[in-house]
Amino acid sequence: MDDAIPGRGPATAPDDPLARFRWHPEPELLGIGDEAASRAALERLGESAWRTSLDYLYREGVRRGTGPETYAELRALHFGATGLPGHAPASPTRAAEVLAEFTARLAPYQLNPYHPGVLSYFTPPPLALSIVGELLGQWINQGIDVYQAGPVGAFVEEEVNRWLCDLVGYGPASWGVLTSGGTMANLMALTVVRDVHLARLSAATEAGLPPGAALDPARLVAGGVTAYPAVPRGAALDGVRVYASDQAHFSVAKALDILGFPEATLHVVPSDPRFRLRGADVAAAIEEDSTAGLRPLAIAAVAGSTNTGAVDATGELADVAAANGLWLHVDAAYGGAALLSARDAGRVPDLARADSITIDPHKWFFQAYDIGGLLVRRHDDLKHTFHREPEYYRHGHPGEEPIHWHQYSFEGTRRFRALKLWASWKHLGTAGFGRLVEMNVDLAAHLAARIAESDDLDGIPDGAPDLSVVCFRHVPGGRARTAALDAADPTALDRYTDVLCAALNRTGEGWLSTTILRGRTYLRAGIVNYLSSPAAVDSVLATLRRLSPAAADAAGIHTT
């Protein structure tokens, strides 16, 4: 570059390592390959970014749950008068200005999982080592698809998945793969059910073998059927049934839709009074469908439902699945982490009997988004389902078979998700994770006890929660008024609960969500916040009571 380009900086010397980037006001943050030219600037940027993060944490994150703005108000505040996104920036900006804009324009308007009153969705405050793992993972920028794109990254994911398989009680033949979250893991699990189990079930039927043979590849082979028969497609999916409770995650139905199953495939079986799926109820549904000429295929159980934290009777369901040759998938995205606690592991029993398990470390392992996982009892089932070899994935290891993670997942290129969980597990150990889980379980028990002893609070179901989700209502005038309020206006309490929840969240003093149970609206506390405390829970209840009169007026409820 012999001459300066107008508006793009001065001319540079031929040996200038930043010559190609002098058009930017901070070329040292672009041409980072030369340590002498860029390291000091990168260190300053790192200090500024970390300071900006901590400013957010202590000025906003622990100060309030969220902002007071409604959706419309915040949209106008963020986008301006038009309420619409503007044009992309045309010219470069200094990093300090970008960080300053984050602090002024973005930081004050978050849902803050660090605030002790935030007891809402399964969004925990991430562990510091998880954040550090994410930072390191982004710097090294490994693509965990083919071995060569992330060599040691492939091993770290294998290591973390082994830890997860060991945690749920799976043996050495098991395998796992990290995903973006529970929805992707459930979709992948049901793909395995279609491509492996339905294929085996169909082949076993044609060969005159019992349905149970479909769960044992050795019995299939002995009966003259290949371990992996042709995958059923189109009309072959008609008449199939998958059983789940009314508390199953929406992703189960969504996955069946995506996979081409007819709408009637999902047979929803009512849960019991504690919102659990029971074996006898599924067995009765299977008998009914079989008599009608339908084909039972799988049970999709849940260990820690999103709505209530309920844990299905996994042992009973495993017995039913084994007796009828059905695949058992357990969505333990949230509840599987209870196994980290020696004290509370019994709250999610029999997971090892499942054929596949969804588990989500960005829930109760306190990991930064995103990291989910799918575990399977048999390694080859997962590989058979997703193994494809595009021509540009030339592995280049003659005589070797390295791990290529694209063979186990819908995804091709994947982030180095394993590093943050690896770092966190090293830092806390299983026992440390277990302590944090126990704190949340105890906090949920505290909230349930407060509800039980308070005449103006009504919990569902009665008693201590299965895990750390607590659903309840505030009832103006006390429980004795509930029947009268419902008789006067059956929707009044539902309206009131929605208004009250929105009012609480706008205060910033707490954050709850709402859900529908047995046709009624309830407040939902999903406690995965290890920074919360009994005092914080009591404060949220006090705020609800303080806001009650105005919320009752807004909902048209008269308490006297």
Confidence of residue 105 (pLDDT cuts 50, 70, 90): very high
Amino acid at site 322: A
Report residue 150 as tokens: 């992330």
pLDDT in tens, 375-428: 999 999 999 999 887 777 766 666 778 899 999 999 988 999 999 999 999 999
% of residues, the chain, pLDDT over 90: 88
Instruction: Give CA–CA dist 135/352, Å, rounded.
Output: 34
Report residue 526 as tokens: 């999903």
Instruction: Give CA–CA dist 526/120, Å, rounded.
Output: 5
% of residues, the chain, pLDDT over 70: 96
Distances (CA, A) of 351 to 136, 198, 332, 409: 33, 22, 8, 22
Instruction: Give CA–CA dist 90/501, Å, rounded.
Output: 42
pLDDT in tens, 185-233: 999 999 999 999 999 999 999 999 998 999 999 999 999 999 999 988 8
Where do the domains of the chain lie, and which CATH numbers do they carry? 142-415 (3.40.640.10), 426-555 (3.90.1150.170)
pLDDT at 557: 87
Residue 78 has pLDDT above 60, yes or no: yes
Instruction: Give CA–CA dist 149/152, Å, rounded.
Output: 9
Distances (CA, A) of 187 to 331, 366, 429, 500: 11, 23, 30, 35
Confidence of residue 10 (pLDDT cuts 50, 70, 90): low
pLDDT in tens, 429-478: 999 999 999 999 999 999 999 999 999 999 999 999 999 999 999 999 88
- DSSP state letters, 85-150: --PPP-S---HHHHHHHIIIIIGGGS--TTSTTB-SSS-PPPPHHHHHHHHHHHHHT---SSGGGS
Residue of higher predicted confidence among 270 and 558: 270
| Helix (H), strand (E) at residue 470 | strand 469-474
User: What mean pLDDT is predicted for residues 117-130?
Assistant: 95
pLDDT at 471: 98
Residue 4 has pLDDT above 90, yes or no: no
Other C-beta atoms lying within 10 Å of the C-beta of residue 6:
6
Q: Which residues, in sequence order, are CB contacts of 170 under 8 Å at separation 6+?
A: 352, 375, 377
pLDDT at 27: 97
Report residue 38 as tokens: 């860029």
Query: Structure pTM?
Result: 0.94
Q: For the chain, report the end-to-end CA distance as a whole number of angstroms.
A: 83
Backbone torsions φ then ψ of 297, nearest 5 degrees = -120, -45
Helix ranges restricted to H, 292-358: 314-324
Closest CA to 122 of 525, 556, 553: 525
User: What mean pLDDT is predicted for residues 93-120?
Assistant: 96
Confidence of residue 11 (pLDDT cuts 50, 70, 90): low
Closest CA to 462 of 217, 274, 255: 274
Q: Tell me what the pLDDT averaged over the chain comes to.
A: 94
**Are residues 444 and 465 in contact, defined by beta-carbon separation less than 8 angstroms?**
yes
Beta bridge partners of 331: 302, 358
Instruction: Give CA–CA dist 256/249, Å, rounded.
Output: 12
- What are 500-503's contacts with CB under 8 Å, separation 24+? 500/474, 500/544, 500/547, 500/548, 500/551, 503/547, 503/550, 503/551
| Helix (H), strand (E) at residue 327 | strand 327-331
**Are residues 317 and 354 in contact, defined by beta-carbon separation less than 8 angstroms?**
no
Amino acid at site 541: L
The length of the chain, given as a count of residues: 560
Amino acid at site 543: T
Instruction: Give CA–CA dist 305/307, Å, rounded.
Output: 5
Confidence of residue 1 (pLDDT cuts 50, 70, 90): very low
Question: What DSSP designation does 335 have?
Answer: G
Q: Three-class SS of residue 281?
A: helix
Instruction: Give CA–CA dist 556/503, Å, rounded.
Output: 15
pLDDT in tens, 480-503: 888 888 888 999 999 999 999 999
Distances (CA, A) of 465 to 118, 345, 445: 18, 14, 7
Amino acid at site 318: A
| Radius of gyration of the chain, Cα coordinates, nearest whole angstrom | 27
Confidence of residue 6 (pLDDT cuts 50, 70, 90): very low
pLDDT at 3: 42
